[in-house]
Structure 1
Amino acid sequence: MRNSLDCAALDAAMEDVHRAGMPGLFAEVRADDEVWRGAVGVADLGTGRPVTADLRHRVGSITKTFTAAAVLQQVESGLIGLDAPIGRYLPQLVPGERGAAITVRMLINHTSGLAEYLPYAYPSLKTFPDPAGTRPQSLDDHRHTRFDPVELIEMGVTAPAVGVPGGAPGVYSNTNYLLLGQLLEHVTGASAEQCITRNVIERAGLRDTELPVGAYVDGPHSRLYESWFGMIDPPRDYSVYDMSFVGPSAALISTVADLNRFYAMLLAGEIVGPSSLKQMQRTTRVVSQEGKTIDYGLGLHPMEGPGEGVFWGHGGTVWGGGSLAMTRADGRRQMAVAVNLQRWSRLDSSGRPQPHPIDAALAALFRVAMYG
Structure 2
Amino acid sequence: MENPLDSAELNAALENVHRAGMPGLFAEVRDGDQVWRGAAGVADVATGRPVTADMRHRVGSITKTFTAAAVLQQVESGRIGLDTPIGRYLPKLVPGERGDAITIRMLINHTSGLAEYLPYAYPSFKAFPALANTGPQSMDDNRFTRFHPTELIEMGVAAPAVGAPGGTPGVYSNTNYLLLGQLLEQVTGTTAEEYITQNVIERAGLRDAALPAGPYVDGPHSQMYEAWFGMIDPPRDYSVFDMSWVGPAASLISTVADLNRFFGMLLAGEIVSRSSLAQMQRTVPVISQEGKTIDYGLGLHRKEAPGQGTFWGHDGSAWGAGAVTMTRADGKRQMAIAVNLQRWNRLGSSGRPQPHPIDDALAALYRVAMYGNTEG
Q: TM-score range by the shorter chain?
A: over 0.9
8 Å CA contact retained: 2:70, 2:200: yes
Code of the aligned partner of 1:184: L
Q: Which moved more, 1:124-133 or 1:72-81?
A: 124-133
Q: TM-score, normalised by structure 2?
A: 0.98
Q: Deviations over 1:21-59 (max 9, x none)?
A: 000000000000000000000000011000000000000
Give, in angstroms, the shift of residue 306 of structure 1.
Answer: 3.2
Tell me the secondary structure at the aligned position of residue 365 of structure 1: helix
* Alignment partner of 1:41 is 2:41: yes
Code of the aligned partner of 1:60: G
Find the aligned partners of 1:152 and 1:79 in 2 and give their Cα distance: 25
Give, in angstroms, the shift of residue 349 of structure 1.
Answer: 0.7
Give, in angstroms, the shift of residue 129 of structure 1.
Answer: 4.2
Find the aligned partners of 1:208 and 1:61 in 2 and give their Cα distance: 17
Q: TM-score, normalised by structure 1?
A: 0.99
Give the paired residue count: 372
Matches within 5 A, 1:2-151: 2-151=2-151
- CA 1:307–1:25 in structure 2 vs 1: closer, same or farther (change >3 Å)? farther
8 Å CA contact retained: 1:102, 1:166: yes
8 Å CA contact retained: 1:3, 1:333: no
Which residue number in structure 2 is paired with residue 197 of structure 1? Answer: 197
Code of the aligned partner of 1:320: G
Matches within 5 A, 1:167-206: 167-206=167-206
Which residue number in structure 1 is paired with residue 212 of structure 2? Answer: 212
Find the aligned partners of 1:27 and 1:365 in 2 and give their Cα distance: 10
Code of the aligned partner of 2:141: D
8 Å CA contact retained: 2:89, 2:186: yes
Which residue number in structure 2 is paired with residue 233 of structure 1? Answer: 233
Tell me the secondary structure at the aligned position of residue 29 of structure 1: strand
Give, in angstroms, the shift of residue 86 of structure 1.
Answer: 0.1
Find the aligned partners of 2:116 and 2:274 in 1 and give their Cα distance: 31
Find the aligned partners of 1:193 and 1:5 in 2 and give their Cα distance: 36
Give, in angstroms, the shift of residue 5 of structure 1.
Answer: 0.6
8 Å CA contact retained: 1:268, 1:331: yes
Find the aligned partners of 1:105 and 1:337 in 2 and give their Cα distance: 29
Find the aligned partners of 1:169 and 1:283 in 2 and give their Cα distance: 11
Q: What's the % identity of the aligned pairs?
A: 80
Aligned structure 1 segments of 4 or more residues deviating by more than 4 angstroms:
none
Give, in angstroms, the shift of residue 128 of structure 1.
Answer: 2.6
Q: Deviations over 1:225-273 (max 9, x none)?
A: 0000000000000000000000000000000000000000000000000
Give, in angstroms, the shift of residue 136 of structure 1.
Answer: 0.7
8 Å CA contact retained: 1:322, 1:340: yes
Which residue number in structure 1 is paired with residue 253 of structure 2? Answer: 253
Q: Deviations over 1:39-88 (max 9, x none)?
A: 00000001100000000000000000000000000000000000000000
Code of the aligned partner of 2:198: R
